[in-house]
Amino acid sequence: MRTISFPVLLGVGALVCDFVGFAQEDLVNAAGFENGAVLLEYTSEYGDRSASEWIALGLIDGTTELGWSSSNGAVFPQEFVIELAQTHDIQQFEFENGGNEERTNPGISARTVTVLAATESRDGPFEEIYSGDISTESTSVSLDAPVSARWLKLSITANGGHARYTELMEFRGLGVPTGEEAREQTRVSGTYETNWNPFFLIVEGNTIRGCYDYDDGVFDGYAAGSFLNIEWREFGPQIGKAALAIVEDGSQFNGFWYEDGELRGTWTGARTDDSREPACAANLKTGSNQVKLALDQTGRAVLYGIYFDYDSDVLKPESEPTLNNLLDWLRDNPEASVVFDGHTDADGSDEYNVRLSERRAQSVVAWMSQDGIAAERLAAVGYGESRPVADNRSAQGKALNRRVEVRREQ
């Protein structure tokens, strides 16, 4: 983290101070994608759906390695509307310009910003809670008093003078959740219009599956809180992962997609008229076993629906639906033998992660054995952090990397 020691202009009802991290340990980044925030609207971006940099979602991805740039010649204001996973009392804002192209393109950093908050709806009314100038490095703004917000609007009204582009690497709204805990997501089955063509989603408890009209795309996965963690497969074959944050009423989602362990672009969508469902939707049958489908189609399946506590190899009760789906497939295919591959994110030492991932895979083997599957049909391997399917720079990438996979032995 960089520290600034020079003054910047004061905003409305706010104090700008040195950026040295969170002022209080209990503050969370309510505007962070990793905490379920969804970027509902934005004015422009330089990148597109296949871009891994200079995209609007880079503003809230939780890192300063991925940032936002306006499109060429975009006029001010550049605005972003963010829905928080639940209402927060916002106490601080942080703006990160460090790491952008200011040194090679003087004046490209966002300079004058306004932040507004709303509690009634995504359309407002919005109340201005901060307005002022930010530095070309890192700026932290502490509000005089907490402000309740369910939606935040960031408006960038000037840069440092660059004629073509404006950049900002990260925006954070730090606060404390208020009132009731976040309500259960209303994950809606149906059609979404997305930047990768129409997308059809089926939700059954915490399991999800669907298809989309791009290279015969299909997907399956699991819902965890505000997130849909999926594996997608396309004609080729191409296989990858995606982490999608969905708003509480199920009307909109956005997130990142990965292939070969690298961030490749964004995936965004809004609920639309179901009469426009993609042609592939007709082939999906409600109630089908998605683990079975993946194993039958590809010989392997990602078991994102298997859960462990932090640093634990004890299966949590909410893992049972996924375990039962796999158990049904093993019973229907008595000649098949499988290997469970355990994987972790990059936190911790390599050696420890290998041991933890193997213990978790062994826990699945033990569960299957207790339910009557012969031990000689089951094996477990721990790969630790050595085979990531997403980057380990961000919380959402790490979540996709923490997984157990099952593959059919040839």
| pLDDT at 10 (0 to 100) | 28
Token pair of 13, please?
A: 């009802």
Give the integer Cα–Cα distance in Å for 134 and 230.
Answer: 37
Give the integer Cα–Cα distance in Å for 320 and 184.
Answer: 20
Question: CA 271, 393, 238 angle in degrees (round to 5)?
Answer: 55
Give the integer Cα–Cα distance in Å for 318 and 208.
Answer: 15
| Strand-pair partners of 143 | 14
Length of the chain: 410
| pLDDT at 16 (0 to 100) | 35
Is 105:174 a contact under the CB 8 Å cutoff? no
Domain boundary assignment for the chain: 14-177, 190-288, 300-408
CATH number given to 14-177: 2.60.120.260
Q: Which are the contacts of 236, defined by CB distance < 8 A and separation ≥ 6?
A: 215
Q: Do 14-177 and 300-408 fold alike per CATH?
A: no
How does pLDDT run along the chain (410 residues), one tens digit per residue? Answer: 222 222 232 233 343 333 333 345 689 999 999 999 999 999 999 998 889 899 999 999 999 999 999 999 999 999 999 999 999 999 999 999 998 999 999 999 999 999 999 999 999 999 999 999 999 999 999 999 999 999 999 999 999 999 999 999 999 999 999 965 555 555 578 899 999 999 999 888 788 889 998 998 989 888 887 899 999 999 877 999 999 999 988 899 999 999 999 999 999 999 997 777 787 887 776 566 778 888 988 899 998 889 888 889 999 998 998 999 999 999 999 999 999 999 999 999 999 999 999 999 999 999 999 999 999 999 999 999 999 999 888 888 888 999 999 999 97
Q: Nearest CA to 75 among 154, 152, 163?
A: 163
Is 408:295 a contact under the CB 8 Å cutoff? yes
Q: Which CATH superfamily is domain 300-408 in?
A: OmpA-like domain (3.30.1330.60)
- The counts of H helices and E strands in the chain are 4, 22
